[in-house]
Copies of this chain bind each other. A is one copy, B any other.
Amino acid sequence: MSKIISSIALLQAVFDEHAGKDGDPKTLTKKEVADLLKNDNFPIEPSNQAEADQFFNMLDGDGDGVVTFREFGTFVLALSEI
């Protein structure tokens, strides 16, 4: 199988696992983002609400209060270049 397809499928799986919990299964709420980061053992994990809000706002590119897969992927890509 294509490694490109595998890598995006893996990212989509992480997103879908959490996006479906409440509300719109196509977007992540602030709580779903917090759960995702914790469950994924992602190396950046907010330690308080202010940091969680800040982190969410960086993810939520268009500021509409939810995070789409495109916003999530774009943010993760940007992080990979730090």
Contacts and interface: CB of A to CB of B under 8 A. Distances in A.
A9 B6 CA distance: 11
A76 B14 CA distance: 17
This chain's copy number in the assembly: 2
A7 interface: yes
A54 interface: no
Contacts of A64: none
Nearest to A69: B81
B42 A2 contact: yes
A69 B74 contact: no
Nearest to A73: B77
Interface of A: 1-8, 10-14, 40-43, 69-70, 73-74, 76-81
